[in-house]
Amino acid sequence: MPDLAEVVRRAAARAGLARIAAFPLEPPRRLDLYRRWLADGHHGEMGYLATPAHLAGRADLRTVLAEARTVVVAAMAHDPGVAVADDAARAAGDDADDDAGAGADGADARPRGAIARYARGDDYHAVLRDRLIEVADAVAAAVGRPVAARPCVDAAPLLERELAERGGLGFIGKNTLLIVPGLGSYVLLGELLLDVDLALAPDGGDAAPMRSRCGTCTACLDACPTGAFAAPFVLDARRCLSYLTIEHEGATPIALRAAAGPWVFGCDVCQEVCPYNAAAPARAIPPAPLRARDRDHAAPDLLAMVAAPSNQLRRFVRRTALRRITRAQLLRNVCVALGNLGDARAIAPLAARLADASPLVRRHAAWALGAIAARRPEAAAAAARAALPRRRPSWIPRSRPSAPPRSAPDAGQGVVAAASDRVST
């Protein structure tokens, strides 16, 4: 009988997996905490998480693969990138202080958004799934028979961070993410259920849980722009920017829009401040498909995005994790980011979005125009007068309240308010 642990270890190395472990199936240790999290409503609109099928999978992995006897857990590094949110905000600040809107860096000083690091390359679901299949194929070849296998990458109801911690890959931090010593938290997790008996630890010993090493540090809790942590190790998704920009399908809560900053897909703030990410000397080089495709897939040009037709937006998100959200959600997020960055050059394309077919887009375009006008009223007034649609879009009723009178000091706000009256909020 071949040494399956060594077979898996070598296959994982060839596949570019940074850490891997395996252990027999056992009852979960945090299922009660998960049920309590659901009962507290912290899952927001993700009602599917509380369905019987999802709860069953988390309670017993054999509901995911009936023949399963072993679970293999893997971590693959993704592009650690740079803190593009700070760069985007800095560029926007330069632009807001410059009447022409060109900024200190000239033509390239355009307002840029921020995309979470894991989503800047190819869709990680397919990338990691294919590598787990390579491991399963290696096991099948070693045992000389077909094996029942199920690769899981965010597509199966299981407690993946608990499984990764149980296998000794790392520990769960106060920001609820898995922190892998030597790699930090910039990793993607995947699981492989197999119908063979196998035990493997990352360090070559026995797979054993790793205790939290956060100590008294609260950097991630303190840095969260929306205060999304109800307590250490407890995330209220309803306030998390990753949830609000991806899972949430409706309007971004008004009280949280300013806190969203330049983020248009996900958020990395709680990871950017983590000491384990700042001091990860053994950080693995991510596979090429997971590296940022280009600058625009790390810090997108928001002026280009808000004005882009649907076919260009589809091309932008093709084969990336951004496919998870709809066109309306993406433009909603872009509008909020532009409102926060306050660049007057965004007024014309935002005003054009007041005629968008989606009420969600119109609503957030109007909010963004108001946010910009509050910062730059004179520039907003001039740009809004020139940019408002000359013809009434079909969705605007012919009978509507007249706009309130405008006074000179509030000219910018008045024009934007008139525009806002034309949209459904």
Listing DSSP states for 155-189 in one string gives SS-S-HHHHHHHTTS-EE-TTSSEEBTTTBT-EEE
DSSP strand pairing (149-152 vs 70-77)? unpaired
Enumerate the β-bridge partners of residue 101: none
Q: Which residues of the chain have pLDDT under 70?
A: 1, 82-108, 204-207, 280-283, 384, 387-425
Q: Which alpha helices (DSSP H) does 60-176 contain, by range?
A: 84-96, 124-143, 160-166
How many CA atoms does the CB half-sphere of 347 hold within 13 Å? 30
Contact status, residue 183 vs residue 19, Cβ threshold 8 Å: yes
Verify that 129 and 154 share a domain, yes or no: yes
What is the pLDDT, as a whole number, of residue 218?
97
Verify that 188 and 228 share a domain, yes or no: no
Q: Tell me the C-alpha to C-alpha distance, in Å, between residue 242 and each of 193, 230, 238, 297.
A: 28, 16, 10, 16
Instruction: Specify the 3-state DSSP secondary structure of 250.
Output: coil
What is the pLDDT, as a whole number, of residue 285?
79
Structural domains of the chain, count: 2
Of the three residues 148, 178, 194, the one that is the final residue of a domain is 194
For residue 10, which phi and psi values (nearest 5 degrees)? -70, -40
Verify that 330 and 291 share a domain, yes or no: yes
Q: Which amino acid is at 140?
A: A
Q: 343 is written with which tokens?
A: 């660049």
Q: Kindly state the DSSP code that residue 401 receives in the 8-state scheme.
A: P
Q: Which residues are catalytic?
A: 154
Verify that 143 and 228 share a domain, yes or no: no
Q: 399 is written with which tokens?
A: 């009978």
Residue range of the domain that includes 171 = 4-78+123-194
What is the pLDDT, as a whole number, of residue 400?
58
Tens digit of pLDDT for each residue in 189-246? 999 999 999 999 887 555 678 889 999 999 999 999 999 999 999 999 999 999 999 9
We report the CATH number of the domain holding residue 39 as: 3.40.109
What is the pLDDT, as a whole number, of residue 275?
94
The answer as to whether 387 is a domain residue is no
Q: 34 is written with which tokens?
A: 């998960």
Verify that 72 and 166 share a domain, yes or no: yes
